[in-house]
Amino acid sequence: MSINGIPVLEDLPSVDGKRVLVRTDFNVPMADGVITDDFRIKAALPTINWLLDHGASVVTASHLGRPKGTANPKYSMDAVRTRLAELAPGVELLENLRFDPGEEGNDPAFVAQLVEGIDAYVDDAFGAAHRAHASIVGPPKTLPSAMGRLMQKEVAVLLGMRNDPKRPFVAVLGGAKISDKLGVVEALLNSVDALVIGGAMCFTFLAAQGFPIGDSLWEPEQVDTCARLLASGKTIHLPEDIVGVDAGGNYATFGIRLPPGAKGFDIGPGTAAAFSDVIMDARTVFWNGPMGMFEDERFANGTKTVAQAMADTKAFTVVGGGDSAAALAQFGLDGDVDHVSTGGGASLELLELGDLPGLAALRAAPNAEANEAASP
């Protein structure tokens, strides 16, 4: 049953009458102590209900916000616990894992505390699987372990796309900073048939080609890397027109060259149409990072056009990244793509490296295939 050697729920020994610790991602959006969207709690229910149906008692644990190792009432799990009790009565929820410095420090003493009285471990917190934190990598060292249903879907989709995509495979990348994403850009360049680059990220590439970019956001220290990627012989689609503001701060449309003082905040309509064609002709598309500063309606068109193409294409479509997913939802198109990843950083790191600390830990658990084969 396992995927890439990582055990799934069916690979656990019987959980009947056992206590199972589930690492969830209950990092819900909150305003003034009130949960504004409970989708992350609901998303954990398939895993929780499978365990309950098989006779387990379930203890969940999550982080919430960044309390940085101290107990801060602002980040208490109380509101989540109340909502969880409505959705899954009888399921326990520990206090915010990050109240203890041992969580982010991966302290063995904190791991020991987490697994005390626990018989099995399930990780369903894909968004945290790229962190080698105590609750992620600790329990599988001693407990029979598995990934939950959310994590299983993420791994199947993202690894399937990375290792065996239907071609043409196109990656559409945008967002603010190249340096954040350079690793994945380089890794994807090896496996994609074409790379499409928008967002602020495009200006460092345009600068590397010698085009004047005005006062647009760019990263001078990444110019050499962009030049090298452009020289790799791979197909890289860059904008041919830009929307932004002129030196006086007025909305303006430009060609590929920005005048002094101008700032590019979105891909232009010609570019958006061209990018859309590439997406329509692909059979697999991965999209990460908005094409412009879509939070400002004047600069949302490029992102909207790309989102619409993602919804319309017959290709298998995957969206990763918090802001890209938010943009998709804002346009009401989140139901029209094949997979929206719940983990921004985790999805990029999995595409780049093909593995994550949380997955490696599960693959080494006592009940995992590798260890089963090794034991008599």
Q: Which of 23, 40, 131, 149 is catalytic?
A: 40
Question: What is the β-pairing status of strands 34-35 and 339-340?
Answer: unpaired
Closest CB to ligand ADP among residues 138, 289: 289
Answer with the entry of Mg ion, ligand ADP, none that 275 interacts with (C-beta below 5 to 8 A by kind).
Answer: none
Burial of 68: CB neighbours in 10 Å, binned 0-12, 13-18, 19+? exposed
How long, in residues, is the chain?
376
> Are 230 and 205 spatial neighbours (Cβ–Cβ below 8 Å)?
yes
- Judged by CB under 6 A, the residue of 3, 132, 176, 329 near ligand ADP is 176
* φ, ψ of residue 303 in degrees (nearest 5): -65, -40
- Specify the stretch interacting with Mg ion by CB under 5 A; choose among 8-16, 150-158, 318-326, 366-374: 318-326
Comparing CA positions, the residue from 44, 26, 45, 43 lying closest to residue 35 is 26
Question: Using the rule CB under 6 A, is 175 a contact of ligand ADP?
Answer: yes
Note whether 322 binds Mg ion by CB under 5 A. yes
Nearer to Mg ion, 348 or 361 (CB): 348
Cβ closest to ligand ADP, residue 50 vs residue 218:
218
Residue 200 in contact with ligand ADP, rule: CB under 6 A? yes
For residue 245, the number of C-alpha atoms closer than 13 Å in the C-beta half-sphere is 10
- Count residues near ligand ADP (CB under 6 A): 19
3-state DSSP of 141-200: HCCCEEECHHHHHHHHHHHHHHHCCCCCEEEEECCCCHHHHHHHHHHHHHHCCEEEECCC
Please say if 40 is a catalytic residue.
yes
From 32-40, 81-89, 131-139, 321-329, span contacting Mg ion (CB under 5 A): 321-329
* Stretch touching ligand ADP by CB under 6 A, among 34-42, 105-113, 143-151, 286-294: 286-294
Cα Dmax for the chain: 75
- ω into 168 cis (within 30 of 0): yes
Please choose, from the candidates 176, 171, 206, 207, the residue with its C-alpha nearest in 3D space to the C-alpha of residue 189: 171
> Catalytic residue at 214?
no
Catalytic residue among 141, 177, 283, 298: 177
User: Whose Cβ is closer to ligand ADP: residue 30's or residue 326's?
Assistant: 326
Is 345 part of the annotated catalytic residue set?
yes
What are 289's two structure tokens?
A: 């990072």
Residues 323-352 that bind ligand ADP (CB under 6 A): 323-324, 344
Report which of 353, 355, 285, 296 is spatially closest to residue 320, judged by C-alpha positions: 285
Does the protein bind Mg ion through residue 219 (CB under 5 A)? no
Identify which of residues 12 and 307 has a Cβ nearer to ligand ADP in the complex: 307
Residue with tokens 């080494």: 364
Q: Which of 323, 325, 347, 358 binds Mg ion (CB under 5 A)?
A: 323
**Which residue's CB is nearer to Mg ion, number 156 or number 326?**
326
Q: Return residues touching ligand ADP (CB under 6 A).
A: 174-176, 199-200, 217, 264-265, 288-290, 292-293, 295, 321-324, 344
Active site residues: 40, 177, 322, 345
